[in-house]
Every structure is written in structure tokens, then in C-alpha cells.
Amino acid sequence: MKYVIGLIVPLFISYSLSGQIDRQSAFHFNEAILHFKEKNYNAAIKSYDEALKITPDYEKALYNRGKAKLKLKNYKSALSDFKKTGDINPKHAKAHLYNGLCQMRLKNYPAAISYLSKSIAIDKSSYAYTNRALCFMQEKKYDKAIKDYALVLNDDSKNVKARHNRAICLLKLDKKAAALADLSKILDIDPEHNDARFARAQIMSKEEDFSKVISDLNHLERSQYDNKKIFYMRGYAYLKQGDLESANSDFARMIDLDPQHGSAIKNAAFTSYKLKAFDDAVKYYSLILDIEPENEKHYLNRGLACLQIEKFDQAHNDFSKVISFQPEMALAYYNRANALIGMEDKPSACEDMRQAAKLGYEKAFKHISYACQN
């Protein structure tokens, strides 16, 4: 073991000495490097402290101590070291870069942009452009972020993270065609980039290209993509294509995953009714009424479903609730009359049918004679 250390230490000394550095300071510096390589960052910082006590303007020690602090997520203290390094050597691109990264971690995005720009002025690295673009995104300066990502992609056209983030920025600016092109390029590079595929499906849904939406979401389901929204989005696409059974199935799955998903419940109720699955329609309208108890349309639709399965009492109650909200709704009186006929209360049915006719509901005129006959 001693033999190995004897070989390593001189190597570090010859590497680390820069100009006229005190021998004892250099010893602590090299000791810190060993600690850093062993990921013992606290020990590394202590050794750099000793080196800097002897040589306060030891540029490499300041810079490396900052990196050790960064590893420990001690961003404010690391920031101080990188700033001092930059003050000693204004052309130290990486000191400005890491200063910017610390500011990012502290969510000081304008300051981060300033330091990253200083780094870029010295060394136009893709890493600096990438992080400055992320800061621009946080500041909602999407045009500037797009320009930085373009420079990153000029160096590496297969950088899917940069391309994906650029697509997000393009969407924020409502540049759907350009975003779609980036997302499709990502999927050419990596067909299993599920976030890109989901984002593309979202755009296609807005563009009403539902066949492509379904294709992308089917792929995501096979890939076991962990995003429950695929079922609602695919259900909506099926609904728009007129495939009510598939739509209903996906809306039901969405509700299983998120019982409070109002849009899924409404569409499950609608498709159930259209499919003449009236018991299911009643169930789903009851669920949505738990969420939106003051919406008279849900009472009306549940009442209509109840009529279909001869639950006349519940239908009567639902239509009465609608009338309490909308006393002039002829349709509610007409259907409550039908419920009352089913309940064998013809006098009350006659009264409601007459009221529906008075309010101008045409079908009521055709059924008054039946409702009002003795």
C-alpha cells in the first residue's frame, strides 16, 4: 500500500503546482485531490482550507474547493469560491460556469444567466448553452432558450434532451408545427422516448388528427408508460372517431385511476347512454353530481337514463330538481310527466304535460290527451 501511495503523490504534485506555490500549501492541495477522488468531500474541503490559509489566492484550490462544496450541495459557499476564482482569473470559464450552476440551484435565474453568459463569452460549450437555456425557460424567455438549444443542436443533432426542451419552448410560443417536427425527430432517434411521444399525441389531439393520436397512445400503453392521462386522451380520440365502445372503455379506465376526473366521468356517462348501457349512465351521472351538485344538466341526463330503465321515482326526483333550478324548462316538465305516468299518477302527469305545452314544447301537445285522459 505504501508503495502505491509513493507513486501517486508525486504525480499529483507535478500536476498541481502552478507558479510559485508554497510547498506546504501544495501538500494540502494534493491531499485534497486524493480525498476528492475518494468522494470524501468534507475531508477535501478541510485540506483545501489548509492550503488556502497558507496561499489565500491559490486559484486552483479555490476552484476545487468550490467543486467539493457543490458536491455537498452547499451552493452558497461554493458560489463564494467560484466568484473569488473568477475575480483572480476573469477568463476562468469553468468558474463562471459553476457560479452560474450554483445560482441555478438557488433559483437565482437572472444571476445564473449572467454568469453563464460570461462563461460562454470565453468558451462556447454546449453545457453552458444548455444550462443557460434552462434558466431562460424558468424566466419564460422562450425565444432566447430556443436560440441556445439551436446552438447545442448544431453541435449534436442527436441531443434528445435539448430537442425535447426546445419543443416545449416552441409549444409555449404556440409554434406547433416546429414543435411537432422536433418531437418526431426525437422519435426517429429514440422510438422509446415516451415523453416525446406523449407530447406529440397531445399536439395531434389539438390538431384533430385522431388516428395518429390513437397510434401513439397505443404504443405508450404497450410500453407501460406511467401516465394515466393516456386513457382519457385516447378515449376522447375514439369518441371523436365515433368508436363509442372503445371510448367508453378508456374513460372507465381513467376513472378507475382517478375517481375525481370530471371530464372522464362526463364522457363515460355520455357514451354509456349512447350505448344504451343505462345503468352505467346512471352510475356515472351520480358520480359527476357528487363533484358538481348544482349542475341541472346532470340531473336531467340522469333522469332520462332512469326513465329508460323504469326507475320512475328517481327520474321524478331528478326532473323535480331540474325544475327547481330552471322553472321554465319545458323538457323537464315533459319528462317528469312521463315519470309520473310510470308511477301511475296521471293527474299530476296531466298537470306537468300541460305546463310543458304552455312553455312551447311541441311533443307535449301530442301527448296531452293520453296524459290527461281519465
CB 269 within 8 A of CB 288: yes
Rg (CA), the chain: 35
Q: Residue 162: CA atoms inside 13 Å, Cβ hemisphere, count?
A: 23
- What confidence tens digit (pLDDT) does each residue in 143-201 have? 999 999 999 999 999 999 999 999 999 999 999 999 999 999 999 999 999 999 999 99
End-to-end CA distance of the chain: 111
- Give the integer Cα–Cα distance in Å for 226 and 218: 13
Angle at 367 between CA 364 and CA 369, to 5 degrees: 125
Angle ∠(43,44,45) on CA atoms, nearest 5: 90
Handedness of CA 97, 101, 102, 103 (dihedral sign): positive
| Dihedral of the alpha carbons of 247, 248, 253, 256, in degrees to the nearest 10 | 150
17 DSSP assignment: -
Q: Do you know the residue count of the chain?
A: 374
Residues 100, 133: Cα–Cα separation, whole Å: 12
For 38, the enclosing helix (H) or strand (E) is none
What DSSP assignment string belongs to 154-169? HH-TT-HHHHHHHHHH
- Grid coordinates in use for 370? 293520453
Question: pLDDT tens, position by position, for the chain (374 residues)?
Answer: 333 333 223 333 333 334 467 899 999 999 999 999 999 999 999 999 999 999 999 999 999 999 999 999 999 999 999 999 999 999 999 999 999 999 999 999 999 999 999 999 999 999 999 999 999 999 999 999 999 999 999 999 999 999 999 999 999 999 999 999 999 999 999 999 999 999 999 999 999 999 999 999 999 999 999 888 999 999 999 999 999 999 999 999 999 999 999 999 999 999 999 999 999 999 999 999 999 999 999 999 999 999 999 999 999 999 999 999 999 999 999 999 999 999 999 999 999 999 999 999 999 999 998 989 86
pLDDT in tens, 304-321: 999 999 999 999 999 999
For residues 91 and 195, what is the distance between their CA atoms, to the nearest angstrom? 39
